[in-house]
Each structure stands twice: as structure tokens, then as C-alpha cells.
Amino acid sequence: MAKFTHCVRNKRNDGLYPVYIRVFHNESLQYINTGLLVSDKGLRTTYGKSGKKQIEISDRRVIKECLDRINLYAEKMNLINAKGIDCKTLVEILTDKNTELSFTEYANEFIRDMQNRNRDRPAQNYRLALKRLQEFTGKENIYFNDLTSKVINGWIDSMKDSARKKSLYPSCVRSVFNSAIRKYNDYDYDMIRIRTNPFIRVKIPKEKAPEKRSVEAEVLNRLFLSETSFPSYDGISRMELARDVSFIIFCLAGINAADLYDMKKSSLSTEWKLCYNRKKTRDKSDTGAYIEILVPAVIRPLFEKYRGGKDSLFIFSTRFSDENRFVKTVNKGLKSLCDDLHIQETVTTYTFRHSWATIAQNQCGASTELVAFSLNHSSAHRVTEGYIRKDYSPIDALNAKVIDFVLVQTLIVYIPLYALAVNLKKK
């Protein structure tokens, strides 16, 4: 058990003595500066049993203030198991004024860390979740103690307008909360700064399975073979950019647009192998979401067309301030392109990933497991995979089949219709 005593140490040049709380714990000594001062009049000289001269505080006001602080430290000691920690750490805990932790501050720190790891898109979801929680509670600075199960359940009920928000935003808040518990709570030494977890009594609604966003191969052909004529954007029309980026995404087994935006030149080998870590899951995967894929010859000219400078493989990261702006521009171009081609389906960059997966399984006979492997999804066989050196060539073989089906087999049927549509448009 720690021992606390009040004392003075060295006399200052102005003749006053700073007052300290002396802490003795686990055979070690530390001092806590109280900020109090005492003059010679507030001191007295005493002599111990050995006859050693000692200076003690006699000022009653200072003694009372010191005793009050010692009582506060004793109360804090009752909340922790200090047996296994050193004296310096104990003093840091006792003098920490932030006894009530701010969830808002920690959440902002959590979001900044995500941005520093180039996870801007998920960071935006966390930022929106925090903003909606602040609006619901009416507090800009939310403390962990404010987040009770009643508050969280009420917040979820208030988002009846969107099933996605009811699932996504509370999940983000729970992730931040659990991260803070891991940081601030030391169960080995029974130092518990966040004493409650509301999510034990909160059931976050599951979002319904997303609507299938794939389109037929004929629609893909119309998009990939389209002739664009919209006003240019830095020399390239938005529709042209959308068509080309979509073609790259599809021909690289549904690669994410965010990965194209961040792709480095070092990721492309001289043998046209693209080796990278998928941005969305690289921090969650044991393997860093690493994948390799052979760049098909049909899109290699586009690599030259959009060749980046310095370290970037493509120009997208220099043309657009962030990946969100890049994706939005491509999606706007796709909407214009679909309107121009009279395509009724809603098409975004995700459409080509979903379409690739659908064609791979339904038209090319690939197993669900091979499709998942090609899309760089996490596997249910993590332990087994730890024993196996991965071979990525099955992805290349399947990708070639999918591209062949879309660009050759369906094109044979579609060319007469496409030619007719072009002639009608010219007339």
C-alpha cells in the first residue's frame, strides 16, 4: 500500500518553500507538486528519535489542503490494483485530471489515425457517425459516461429513415468504444478507466443484404465500346474517363477504384504483374489483403494513356485531390454515359466488381471460393491458408475467361445491334 505524507523540499530564491505530497510505493519514492507555498513562519523544526533534525509544515491551512488531496488519492487507490505497478506509474494515474474521458476527443483521434493510414473513405463514415451522435445527444463533447445503453438504443431508434445508418453508424461508434477500452483499461492491474460498456445491452440492427448490382454482359459491351463526345475534363471527357476506368476495373477482376487511385509504380512488374494490398481490408487481413493479377493485354494501352508521374502508376492521384472526388467523377461520368446510351440500370464503379463476380460463376462455371479468392475476400479457412503458399495463377485463368465471355462471345451476338444503334444515332 502506498504511503502519502506532505513535506517541503528546497527553499526558493524568494524565501518560500514549495509544498509536495511524498509518495512511497513498492520501495520507490516520488513527489507530487501541490502548487502550494509556505514561508518560514509556516514551518517548524522537530527532531526524530535518532536526533536528526526535520522540517515539518505547521501552517494549518496548507496541512488541510494537503490532507484533502491525500484523501482524493486514497479514493483513487481504491479503484485500482496498484500492487504490481511502479511508483512513477502510480503517480501518473493519481495526478491525471482527466478522470472523465471524452469520447469525442478519442473518436477524433481514432479518425485521424485512419486518415494517416490512407483510409479516408471509412474515416468519412466514422466522422458522420460521430456527427449524428452529437446531434442526437445535443452535446459537442460527449463523454464515455454519457453513452449508456438507453442513449444508444434511443439513437438507433431515431434513425428509422435509413436501415443502413441504423447498422453502420452504431457499428462505427462501437468500434471506437472498444478501441478505447483496449487502450485505457488494464485488466492485469485492475485499472479500469472506462467502467461500462453499453453495447453489451445494445443489439445493432443488421443491414439487409445489398441489392445485386451486377449488369448483363451486353450492357458491359455497350459501355466499353461507347464513343464519348462530352466536354473534356483536363483533356479527357468525364464520360471517356468513366468508360476507361470502368474497363480497367472489370479487366482487373473487379479491382476497387480506391486501389487504382493509390496504386504505385512499384506495384507493376516488368512481366505486367500487378501486385498490391487491397486498401479496404489491408488493415483487417492477416496477409495484408495482398493479391497478384496479370494485366490483360486489352487494357495495357490504358496504363500508358493514364500513366502517372513520380511514384504513382496512374494520373488519378494528381488529377483529383482525394479518392472520393475521383470515384464521384467516374460515377457522374457513368451516369451521363448510361443516359447517352439509354441504359436503364444504375451503374457505378461497384457494378463492374459485382458483374465480374456474377459472370465468373454463372457463365464461366467458377466456384464461389475461387470467385472470393479473385476478389480478395477474406477466407473461412484462415488456419489452413497459413500452411499454403498461394498460387495466384487461377485468378489470371478465370479473369481471361470472364473477359473472353464479355468481349468475344457476347459481342458476336451484339455487334449487329450495336452497329444499328450507332447508325440510328448518326441519322
Give the model confidence (pLDDT) of 123-139 as tens digits.
899 999 999 999 999 98
pLDDT over 70 percentage in the chain:
86
CB 36 within 8 A of CB 66: yes
Choose from 203-217, 350-364, 367-381 the range with maximum mean pLDDT.
350-364
Sorted by sequence, the CB contacts under 8 Å of residue 398 that are 6+ apart come out as 253, 360, 364, 366, 370, 371, 374
Q: How many CB atoms lie within 10 A of CB 294?
A: 19
186 falls in which pLDDT band (50, 70, 90)?
A: confident
Please count the CA atoms within 13 angstroms of the CA of 360 that sit on its side-chain side: 28
Helices 238-251 & 217-224 angle (0-180, nearest 10): 130
Q: Tell me the three cell numbers of residue 77.
A: 487507490
H or E element in which residue 146 lies: none
- Look at residue 98 and tell me whether its pLDDT is greater than 60: no
Residue among 97, 99, 87 nearest 1 (CA): 87
User: Is the separation of the CB atoms in 329 and 322 below 8 Å?
Assistant: no
> DSSP state, 285?
S
pLDDT band at 181 (very low <50, low <70, confident <90, very high): very high
The stretch 295-322 carries a mean pLDDT of: 90
Confirm if 333 and 316 have CB atoms less than 8 A apart: no
Q: With bands split at pLDDT 50, 70 and 90, how would you rate the model's confidence at 417?
A: very low
Q: Examine the pLDDT at 380 and tell me if it is beyond 60.
A: no
- Which among 43, 18, 44, 46 has a CA at the least distance from the CA of 32? 18
Average pLDDT over residues 141-159: 93
User: What gap in Å lies between CA 403 and CA 272, rounded to an integer?
Assistant: 17
Beta carbons of 214 and 351 less than 8 angstroms apart:
yes
Alpha helices in 232-348 (DSSP H): 238-251, 257-262, 300-305, 316-319, 323-340
The rounded mean pLDDT for the chain is 85
DSSP 264: B
Nearest to 101 by CA among 179, 155, 190: 179
Cell numbers at 358, concatenated: 456474377
Q: Is 108 exposed, middle or buried (0-12, 13-18, 19+ CB in 10 A)?
A: middle
Tell me the C-alpha distance between 223 and 414, whole Å. Answer: 12
pTM of the model: 0.59
386, containing H or E segment: none
Angle at which helices 323-340 and 217-224 pack, to 10 degrees? 100
> 3-class DSSP state for residue 174?
helix
Question: What's the chain's Rg over C-alpha atoms?
Answer: 32
* Contact present, 12 and 25 (Cβ < 8 Å): no
Distance CA 283, CA 123 (A): 13
SS3 350: helix
Residue 424 pLDDT: 43
Q: Which residue has the cell 485499472?
A: 191
Residue 413 — pLDDT band, cuts 50, 70, 90? very low
Contact 100, 145 (CB under 8 A): yes
Distances (CA, A) of 109 to 92, 115, 137, 179, 399: 21, 10, 20, 11, 41
Q: Is the predicted pLDDT of residue 234 greater than 70, yes or no? A: no
pLDDT at 24 over 70: yes
> Stretch 159-171: mean pLDDT, rounded?
89
What is the pLDDT confidence band of residue 104, given thresholds at 50, 70 and 90? very high
- Judge residue 100's burial from the number of C-beta atoms within 10 Å of its C-beta, 0-12 exposed, 13-18 middle, 19 or more buried: exposed
Top-confidence residue, 211 or 193: 193
Query: Over the range 304-340, which residues count as b (16 or more CB within 10 Å of their CB) and which as e?
Result: eebebeeebbbebbebbeebeebbebbbebbbbbbee
Contact residues for 412 (Cβ-Cβ < 8 A; gap 6+): none
Gap between the Cα atoms of 6 and 64, Å rounded: 10
45 φ, ψ to 5°? Answer: -100, 130
